[in-house]
A = this chain, B = another copy of it.
């Protein structure tokens, strides 16, 4: 097979075969195909697209660039959730223990935060001692023992994806549905799962700002999951404002603990329980998503979900005294309040800007080399639809970086808009796709 001919074929909009995609992915992973040829292929695939079958075959080729974890020695239905990322999105931290407490297995391999969105690994690593770099045998051990495990990408998992993603990032070939699908699915399928629930975010804080694009991605992910015989449900959920109130690494652990201990955070609970409910349903422990939601609520009420969380943190080396007494966590040097400078009904939030404000305070990364301040972040008090008076508390900032406080306050204030007319709060669960 000839690389130039395969690039030409995709350039002409023709479909590549399984053998051809395997040749490209294996060749690139082994560095037999140079970057400059693969980037030309990526741009051709970006502009000419790939159909469902090709997307599944590309996923397969990338999946088998590494290993698929063999979880056959562990009993139970294995299910994971994937979110496209948002601001304040801490649902994984809450639903993993819920679903494990429901009797399913939740083997999660997660990523780090970049830009305006946080990453589950970073949040967990804010717990002193918590290890996300478990090897695969330790990963299986924790999963078997407690039913949930949360680790980072290992080098055995879809090595092609890491290489390809780095190249896409510098060649303007990121925002492609088939390429995004294959990237997500090759990693998720490597976990050894039986089912998968997607949370595709849409709105000002999401990668897919338009619901139409979110739906296209959701359908591509679902179709690919089905091509691998996985049980799957996709949710399109609102990301026009932060989910819950806390944004930041430890802050999101903190709010997750509160929810696991029974505190009601309306939007966060609604999204989390829908996702966990769907996971419990797909795993056969409920007859419907609704019944799965009821089970989720009960596992919060009776303390079993929180117990699972403590167990998982302990098994992964985290300091559980802080989980039990989260108020003891170190505090940021600066605590600054942001007050409303206008009155009206909160109409829109530029949620991307809120995420970037948290980043500036130390909670996020501009590049993968930036260091995080785990205790930095924002408590964002207002929700779309709230009636606001001038001087009302909108948000609280926590940081050690004095120099960014004023600019961040301004950034937050200019990211919200009010109107004179009443505004209804956005629908959280916009679509459920199967």
Stretch in contact with the other chain, from A44-52, A192-200, A256-264, A303-311:
A44-52
A314 to chain B minimum Cβ distance, whole angstroms, is: 43
Check A170 for interface membership: any CB of B closer than 8 A: yes
Q: Which of A33-41, A126-134, A138-146, A397-405 contacts B (4 or more CB under 8 A)?
A: A33-41
Please indicate the chain B residues that have their CB under 8 angstroms from the CB of A78 in the complex.
none
Q: What B residues does A44 contact at CB under 8 A?
A: 43, 47, 172
Known: A35-B36, A36-B36. A43 touches B172 (CB 8 A): no
Would you call A351 an interface residue if the criterion is a C-beta within 8 Å of the partner chain's C-beta atoms?
no
- Interface assignment of A7: CB less than 8 Å from any CB of chain B: yes
A213 to B105 CA separation, bound complex (whole angstroms): 60
If A44-B47, A47-B48 touch, whether A8 touches B39 (CB-CB below 8 Å) is: no
Flag if A4 contacts B172 (CB, 8 Å). Answer: yes
Partner of A43, one of B40, B167, B169: B40
Minimum C-beta distance from A433 to chain B (A): 28
Known contacts A36-B36, A47-B44; is A11 also within 8 Å of B172 by CB?
yes
A147-167: CB near B (< 8 Å → 1, else 0) gives 000000000000000000001
Distance in angstroms from A211 CB to nearest chain B CB is 21
Residues 166-184 of A at the B interface (beta carbon under 8 Å): 167, 169-173
CB contact list, A203-247 vs B, under 8 A: none
Q: Is A42 an interface residue (CB 8 A)?
A: yes
Interface hits, A1-25 → B, CB 8 Å: 3-5, 7-8, 11
Q: Is the CB of A36 within 8 A of B171?
A: yes
Residue of B nearest to A35 (CB): B36
A interface bracket (residues with beta carbon within 8 Å of B): 20 to 34
Residue from B34, B37, B47, B173 in contact with A47 in the complex, judged by beta carbons closer than 8 Å:
B47
Contact pick for A170, options B4, B43, B46, B172, CB 8 Å: B4
Are B4 and A43 interface neighbours, CB within 8 A? no
Bound form: Cα–Cα A170–B35 in Å: 11
Contact indicator B48/A172 (Cβ below 8 Å): no
Residue of B nearest to A45 (CB): B43
* C-alpha gap A210/B87 in the complex (Å): 55
Q: A3 — nearest CB in chain B belongs to which residue?
A: B170
In whole angstroms, how far apart are the Cα atoms of A5 and B174 in the complex? 12
The residue of chain B having its C-beta at the shortest distance from the C-beta of A11 within the complex is: B172
Measured CA separation A46–B8 after assembly (Å): 11
Nearest B residue to A167 by beta-carbon distance? Answer: B36
CB contacts (< 8 Å) of A4 on chain B: these are 169-172
In Å, the complex CA distance between A39 and B167 comes to: 12
* CB-based contact B11/A46 at 8 Å: yes
- Give the docked Cα–Cα distance between A130 and B28 (Å): 45
Contact B37–A34 (Cβ < 8 Å): no
- Which residue of chain B has the shortest Cβ distance to A48 in the bound complex? B47
Contacts of A172 in B (CB 8 A): 4-5, 7-8, 11, 40, 44
Roughly how many angstroms separate A36 CA and B173 CA in the complex, as a whole number? 12
Given known pairs A34-B35, A47-B47, the reply for A40 and B171 (CB within 8 Å) is yes
Task: Report chain B residues within 8 Å CB of A38.
Answer: 36
CA distance A34 to B166 in the complex (A): 14
How many angstroms from the CA of A250 to the CA of B8 in the assembled complex?
A: 36
Nearest neighbor of A38 in chain B, beta-carbon distance: B36
Interface string of A25-69 (1 = CB under 8 A from B): 000000000111111101110111000000000000000000000
23 A-B pairs within 8 Å (CB atoms) are namely A3-B170, A4-B169, A5-B172, A7-B43, A8-B172, A11-B43, A11-B172, A11-B173, A34-B36, A35-B35, A35-B36, A36-B36, A37-B39, A37-B171, A39-B40, A39-B43, A40-B42, A40-B171, A40-B173, A43-B44, A43-B47, A44-B47, A47-B47
Nearest 10 interchain pairs by C-beta: A35-B36, A40-B171, A43-B43, A7-B172, A8-B172, A36-B39, A39-B40, A40-B43, A47-B47, A36-B36
